[in-house]
Structure 1
Amino acid sequence: MQVRKYTILSIASILVVLAVWSVVTYSNLIDPLFLPTPGGTLNALGEEIKEGIFFKDVGVSFYRILMGFVISTVFAVPIGMMMATSKAWQAVWEPLIGLIRYMPAVAFIPLSILWFGTSDLQKFFILFLGVFFQEVIMIADNCKTVNKSLVEVGHTLGFTKGEITRSIVFRAALPGMVDTFRTTWGWAWTYLVVAELVAASEGLGFRIMQAQRYLSTDRIVLGILVIGLFGLITDQLFAWLYRRMFPWKTLEKAKG
């Protein structure tokens, strides 16, 4: 019953936003130059599909964000775990990460273009800067919340430090890590679009910037909505994955 109620409320909230959008645009309270109608946005979708650019842009952007996110995560997980379990590792990485993570990734775009041109490597670099350093800190925090008694049991059983990290800390912290991945995936979309706005010849961000030049507000709104829709879908996929992998955690949250 709770799931059904949640679903109804979620759908209702979207319908309310759609209704308000329709009222203010179809009644001409807002000029279409500033905000297109829902119908106008759908027409823009049809035009981009006919031009053969819509699915290409979606595919290119999704490939870039997936690769950038995977590269960041492959490095962030082991480094974050080691920071949580080794004082020496923490001393090496914490000042460096603390310094760089406050530097806005957007500020590196000119340098990234100089170093990598406008290739996909440039997009991956911006994604890495935007995601990796924040992700490391969050994963380290996930590992630090592991019950100390579990680690002590590992010592009692004669586990090596590496075995404790892999077999106890990693498994115990994995639910928190999946939540971290869900959060940082959303950040990755933001940094990808920023990179595509400045240095790209295809992709959703590039299409939004191109539409701005020609005052095609309907295509701007379309690009924003498509990004939001993909973000929502992938966010729900992470939530589903969490429920499938850690059903006991889901029950704990429900009781809490």
Structure 2
Amino acid sequence: MSKKHDPKVSLGRQRGSISLSSHPAKHHDGPSMLSKLFSKKSVRPGEQFGAPGQGSSGLISFVTVALLFSLWVLVTATGWVSPLFLPSPQAVYDKFILVSTEGFANATLLEHTQTSLYRVFGAFALACVTAIPIGVLMGVSRVARGVFDPPIEFYRPLPPLAYLPMVIIWFGIGEFSKVYLIFLAIFAPMAISARSGVRSVSIEQIHAAYSMGASRMQVIRHVILKSALPEIFTGMRIGIGVGWTTLVAGEMVASTRGLGFMVLNAAEFLASDVVIMGVIVIGLFAFTFDLLMRYLERVLVPWKGKV
């Protein structure tokens, strides 16, 4: 049975084809946002809308430091602030050379620095080999969490100066008490970060590992520890920062060397140039080590922020 020819339909089709062909195609300089959004090709994170923290901030940091240094030069050069309270950069540099060669408080700057580095990094190394395993154990075992969580959470908010007298009474005024005080300050944030990292592991990953025949130790090693590494590195960075702040408190009692001791001793004689020099040296060492930790984190945890 043949279909009847409908002139209205034919006319409509012809008009539709004429109307579509009569309008010239618009020229686009590039793919639109919608075409990129619904494209089948892979799009890098943040290409359209920007991922949090994406991009380098090195230039911004350099400009910030340059502005702060320029402000320091301006304030001291114009005499807005007395040199007793804020010495000029040139005065601080001259004092740096003088202390490096002739010393301050019966020790050169190198000797003060070596003593402080030994105390801080000794305490940091001791915290790494104790706090991280205990934190991981707290994350995988409720018994360990019940044993270690109360004392850690009890002393963690306390400032080091609060339990400094007890440390001196128990261990004396020797070198061990200073290292132990810094160790206590570093231990708590590292242990808590390791525990949080373990507790944040996806249960689906653990079940998938068990379904593939992995043992408990293999799950802890290859799944839990690797997933907890970002939190562990964060705890290490926080811990070493707390260690540097505790250094001054640890060198308050019966110290003869150290950057913290040098700063406190200079403050007693109103030697503000030595104080600022010591603060800058401590800050530079702390910042350099933090940059090293960031680099190690990028190398050992390349998947952080990408999954």
Normalised TM-score (structure 1) = 0.91
Residue aligning to 2:178: 123
Identity %: 30
Structure 1 residue 27 and structure 2 residue 78: aligned? yes
Q: CA deviation at 1:202?
A: 0.3
Query: 1:182, 1:18 → 2: CA distance?
Result: 26
Instruction: Tell me the residue number matched to 2:93.
Output: 42
State yes or no: 1:145 paired with 2:205. no
- How many Å apart are 1:198 and its aligned residue? 3.2
Match of 1:218 in 2: 273
The structure that has the greater radius of gyration is: 2
Query: Are the counterparts in 2 of residues 127 and 188 from structure 1 also a CA contact under 8 Å?
Result: yes
| Greater RCO, 1 or 2 (C-alpha within 8 Å, sep 6+) | 1
Instruction: Give the equivalent residue in structure 1 for 2:59.
Output: 8
The 1:79–1:204 alpha-carbon spacing in structure 2 relative to 1, beyond 3 Å, is same
Q: Tell me how far apart the structure 2 counterparts of residues 117 and 92 of structure 1 sit (CA, whole Å).
A: 28
Calculate the aligned-residue CA RMSD, in Å: 1.8
Q: Does 1:207 align with 2:258?
A: no
TM-score (norm 2): 0.77
Whole-Å Cα distance in 1 between the matches of residues 158 and 64 of structure 2?
36
Alignment partners' CA distance in 1, 2:213 and 2:248: 49
Q: Deviations over 1:3-59 (max 9, x none)?
A: 3xx222111100111111111111111111111110010011011111241111111
Point out the structure with the larger helix share.
Answer: 1
Give the corresponding residue for 1:183: 238
Q: Which runs of 4+ in 1 moved over 6 A?
A: none
Question: Residues 79, 2 of structure 1: CA spacing in aligned structure 2 closer, same or farther, 3 A cutoff?
Answer: closer
Whether the aligned pair in 2 keeps the contact of 1:113 and 1:199 (CA below 8 Å) is no
Aligned residues: 250
Paired residues of 2:189 and 2:235 also in contact (CA < 8 A): no
Within the alignment, does 1:196 sit opposite 2:196 as a pair? no
2:73–2:89 CA contact under 8 A, matched in 1: yes
Deviations 1:85-112 (A, max 9, x none): 1112111221222222233221222222
Structure 2 counterparts to residues 50-61 of structure 1, below 5 A: 50-52=101-103, 53-61=108-116
